[in-house]
């Protein structure tokens, strides 16, 4: 059994030596090959941002005045709503004292408490309200029936 181990070790050692020789030969072959010139490695970018091998002509470059450069973000279109938003009471629990108003022109719903609502509000009533940030999100306050 000892003989097979030593034979195996000799084979492994031969393979290692052979790989080192091959690596050394490749290294010497690379040294003998001519290297690329620096000019072959350079790339140029033209006025339009395209990478080319040829040097761009400076006479074709367009002069841009500093005042002509604008760096900004276009403003969002602001749609002003006249008056308080309107909506319909989607759910209201009189015994627990809270409800939800569904906005008239979107699927969003807002929580409201009966302390911020007019007396006599019920489900499916058309109401006006203001929005305020509450502890758990946006809440409807000053909830009033539309007359």
The pLDDT tens digits of the residues spanning 47-64 come to 778 888 888 877 766 778
Mean pLDDT of the chain: 85
- Predicted TM-score (pTM) above 0.75: no
Average confidence (pLDDT) over 5-10: 80
Q: In 10 A of CB 110, how many CB atoms? A: 22
In this structure, is the dihedral angle defined by the CA atoms of residues 50, 56, 57 and 59, taken in order, positive or negative?
Answer: positive
Task: Give the pLDDT score at 37.
Answer: 72
- Decide if 6 contacts 14 (C-beta within 8 A): no
Instruction: Give the chain's domains with CATH numbers.
Output: 1-69 (no CATH), 86-145 (2.40.50.140)
Phi (first) and psi of residue 24, to 5 degrees = -65, -40
Q: DSSP 3-state assignment of 126?
A: strand
- Decide if 138 contacts 96 (C-beta within 8 A): no
């Amino acid at each position: 059994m000892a003989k097979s181990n030593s034979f195996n070790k000799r084979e492994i050692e031969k393979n290692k030596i052979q790989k080192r020789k091959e690596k050394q030969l490749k290294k010497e072959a690379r040294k003998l090959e001519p290297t690329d010139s620096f000019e072959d490695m350079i790339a140029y970018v033209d006025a339009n941002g395209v990478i080319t091998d040829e040097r761009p002509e400076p006479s074709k470059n367009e002069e841009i005045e500093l005042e002509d450069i604008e760096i900004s973000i276009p403003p969002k279109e602001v749609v002003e709503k006249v008056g308080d938003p309107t909506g319909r009471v989607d759910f209201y629990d009189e015994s627990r004292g809270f409800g939800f108003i569904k906005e008239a022109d979107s699927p969003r719903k807002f929580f409201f408490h009966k302390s911020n609502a007019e007396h006599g509000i019920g489900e499916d009533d058309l109401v006006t309200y203001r929005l305020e940030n509450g502890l758990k999100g946006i809440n409807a306050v000053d909830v009033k029936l539309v007359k």
